[in-house]
Amino acid sequence: MSGHDGKGFLATYPAQAVTGGYFAVDTFFFLSAFLAVFFMLEEIKKLQAKQGSMGGFMSFLYKTPLIYILRWVRLTPTYFFVLLMYW
């Protein structure tokens, strides 16, 4: 046998992984946004239980920039490490 089964390159596993990458990225973004909103809503519920309905939401609005800052601090060192290794 010559290694070809008549199905072509697109039937191989590497080709399936490459063509499926589009769906993997979409799924990652969907799950990331879903989890972010879920945890933000849980935080709002906790704050509302402590401070009342509007006070909890206002406290959450003040915490929102902190969420983005913590995300930046968490992701940036890894990103810079990868850039350094690439360089």
Considering the chain, what percentage of its residues have pLDDT values greater than 90?
Answer: 10
Nearest partner of 58 among 44, 70, 75, judged by Cα: 44
The structural domains of the chain, with segments of one domain joined by +, span: 11-86
Q: pLDDT tens for residues 15-49?
A: 777 777 788 888 988 998 888 888 888 877 887 77
- Does residue 56 contact residue 49 with C-beta atoms inside 8 Å? yes
Distance CA 85, CA 87 (A): 5
Q: Do 67 and 40 touch, CB atoms closer than 8 A? A: yes
